[in-house]
Structure 1
């Protein structure tokens, strides 16, 4: 994953299962974007279904840099957080310039 994006670039989120067992996701889009202070900037609407990511599989999502009010977020640094049911949460920091 890149760690720097230009304003209006699509931010791609990628989960690769490098484990020997499946990763179980709590929904079809179990991710959110947070500010460095911890406030939720964006959380997608998703189906409340369990999603299995088998060993060696990957799943991708894209964020258009819009907040929950559909407005462009300001330049700055953010965290993408992907939650799982059986492997905890994964956090990735990136900046928008």
Structure 2
């Protein structure tokens, strides 16, 4: 169906957020500016030469800017998966009293 985008598989295995991970976003020019969000990539990578974020986004050497810490717009799917892996069973929503 034209106009639909395939959503990548979400990598949400149980086991906690105890392993190493890196925060990175695509470099300028690799994707459009609105898609340059910060992703969470577990380490070590399962596939040599490719990092696969919790949301399913794939980054290759030279395509990513590694971040020193949280910066820029985060990938919401990566945040949800990271929160679940860290033990949050539900994602809180703001109260509107």
TM range (shorter): under 0.3
> Relative contact order (C-alpha < 8 Å, sep 6+): which is higher?
1
User: Which structure has the highest strand share of the two?
Assistant: 1
Larger Rg over CA atoms: 2
With normalisation by structure 2, the TM-score equals 0.24
User: Which structure has the highest helix share of the two?
Assistant: 2
